[in-house]
Structure 1
Amino acid sequence: MHQLEGKVAFVTGAGSGIGLGIAQALAAAGVKVMLCDIDQAALDTAVAGLSATNADVAGVRADVSLKDELRKAAEETIARFGKVHILVNNAGVGGGGGYGDWTDASWNWALGVNLMSVVWGIEIFGPLIESHAEGGQIVSTASIAGLIAATGPSYNVTKYGVVALSEGLRTDLAPRGIGVSVLCPGFIRTQIMDSRRNLPERFGTIEQMSEGAEAPELVQQARAAIENGIDPRYVGELVREGIEGNWDYIFTDTQFEPFIEARFANIKAGFDRIRDRTPAR
């Protein structure tokens, strides 16, 4: 999509962090943006801030882990802007216990927000993008953890799923005029470590991550890295450029490139071990 001005975007998790950074960058490029978030107060603040710049924006509250709420948000987007060209599946949550500590509730929460909302977003908004035959773009936020399993099990699984879904659909949707990109950020200055602030009551109590001096060293290091991470607005500009250029992968930095190369080397070594063997028939 070389020309973004006048187009319409729907962005989930847009009340803060990466989602807000993306909404800001798109609005600055002349895109009309429907911001979606579960946190009404954060959403109102984000919409007010963008409106003050004369951007054409609106907000809709939705729990994207509930398909009906996401569908209603799509209906409100069409009612407000008439059509949609860009879908940004960005909402995400962290946390979840490790082996021996995880619970069904934490898995269901992570799967619902991080993966199923992406599936449903594409299912709901894909036909809306196709309907006007003007082309469009789908951007889904995964993580570096979607390429190297470096965090908790549920987070890794959901982010690998977003990468796989995006890679597969890129070929499928191209003939329909829809580009597909997957965003794999590293450490960004967001509130991902405090995701439980928006935990819906229906999930009950889920395992808590240790904090402060009692937290595992890895957790403390991750929190510090995020607090000193990349500005979400910079990420938003990368996403804007990725939409304009139809990038398949959108990375935020090269910090984890050596780890991804090591993973690929391990995969290749697995093929090398059986390269000269003849399979039994």
Structure 2
Amino acid sequence: MKNFQNKVAVITGAGSGFGREFARLGARQGMKLVLADVQQDALNSVEAELIEQGVQVLALHCDVSKAEQVQALADATMARFGAVHVLFNNAGVGSGGLIWENSAADWDWVLGVNVFGVIHGVRIFTPLMLECAKHDAAYEGHIVNTASIAGLQNAPTMGIYNVSKHAVVSLTETLYQDLRLIEAPISASLLCPFFVPTGIHQSERNRPDEMQNDAAPTTSQRAAQSFSEKAVASGKISAAEVAELTFDAIRDDRFYIYSDLEPLGNARKRMEDIVQQRNPYDPYEEIPHIKELLRAKLKR
């Protein structure tokens, strides 16, 4: 897809982070935008910003873990714009701690947003995009799913997040192959950012009441939260720069999108362990001081 002018983009998690920057960059490219988020005030802010610029915008509150709400988003998109060209399955949340200490509510929440949010987006919007292609000989479509470097490795105290992002990697690679198999005029990309200053470490702000934990966070969960806050804040590339990389990948029909190539060394070691049947490597092998800091926090 070389030209974004007048194309329709649907963006989940559009109120902040990558989603907001996808929207801003899409607006500069002349796109019509459908914005979805669960945080209404953030969604309203982005909507107002873009409308002031003269952008055609449809903004809807949407919990992507709910199939009926994603279906409503799709219905509203078609009613307003009559087509979908680019889909950003971007909404995501984070949670950490020793994997056995995570509650059923933790699993339901993170997998609901990070995995089923992408599943619902692919399941509902891909047929719509294929139908759009039937009525437009020049149609080009693209789906971008936001995973993480965490989907290519398995650092400790990030269990639920790791599981969810590995699922998105598998889902997106399979989506790419399935689209190629039927020779669809739609492609796909997988966004695997490293640490980028966004609001992912503040995900609890949007956690539904029915998925709150009765018990206080464990020591490991507090340690994971502290580590996440510092790591995210330390990111050297901005969400706006990641958006630029993502749009470049769409133009070039490039599947894998990374904000930082350095962590791929750990991904390579993991694959070598699998092929050579070695026990899993230590992801902190080259930065042992970080591991010791984390271990010290777990003892408090």
Fold in common (TM above 0.5): yes
In the TM superposition, what whole-angstrom CA distance separates every residue of 1:4-44 from its partner, at most 9, and x where no partner exists?
A: 11110100000000111111112211111111000110000
Deviation of 1:160 after TM superposition, in Å, equals 0.3
In the TM superposition, what whole-angstrom CA distance separates every residue of 1:72-110 from its partner, at most 9, and x where no partner exists?
A: 011111122111111110000001442331111110111
Q: Match for 1:68: what amino acid?
A: E
Q: Which residue of 2 aligns with 1:156?
A: 162
Q: Which deviates further from its counterpart, 221-230 or 132-141? A: 221-230
CA contact (8 A) 1:97 1:106 kept: no
Q: Which has the higher contact order (CA 8 A, sep 6+)?
A: 1
> SS at 1:132's partner residue?
helix
The alpha-carbon distance between structure 1 residues 108 and 221, as it changes in their structure 2 partners (threshold 3 A), is: closer
> SS at 1:180's partner residue?
strand
CA contact (8 A) 1:89 1:139 kept: yes
| Equivalent residues in 2 for 1:170-185, closer than 5 Å | 170-174=176-180, 175-185=183-193
The alpha-carbon distance between structure 1 residues 86 and 217, as it changes in their structure 2 partners (threshold 3 A), is: same
Which of 118, 142, 147 pairs up with 1:142? Answer: 147
Deviation of 1:187 after TM superposition, in Å, equals 0.6
Aligned length, in residue pairs: 269
Contiguous gaps of at least 5 residues in structure 2: 134-138, 279-300
The alpha-carbon distance between structure 1 residues 35 and 262, as it changes in their structure 2 partners (threshold 3 A), is: same
Deviation of 1:114 after TM superposition, in Å, equals 0.1
For residues 78 and 164 of structure 1, what CA distance do their matches in structure 2 show?
Answer: 28
State the percentage of identical aligned residues.
39
TM-score (norm: length of structure 2): 0.84
> SS at 1:63's partner residue?
coil
For residues 117 and 215 of structure 1, what CA distance do their matches in structure 2 show?
Answer: 24
Q: Which residue of 2 aligns with 1:200?
A: 208
Q: Give yes or no for the alignment of 1:226 onto 2:232.
A: yes
Deviation of 1:208 after TM superposition, in Å, equals 5.8
For residues 233 and 76 of structure 2, what CA distance do their matches in structure 1 show?
Answer: 34
For residues 256 and 217 of structure 1, what CA distance do their matches in structure 2 show?
Answer: 22
CA contact (8 A) 1:96 1:110 kept: no
Deviation of 1:255 after TM superposition, in Å, equals 2.9
The alpha-carbon distance between structure 1 residues 45 and 170, as it changes in their structure 2 partners (threshold 3 A), is: same
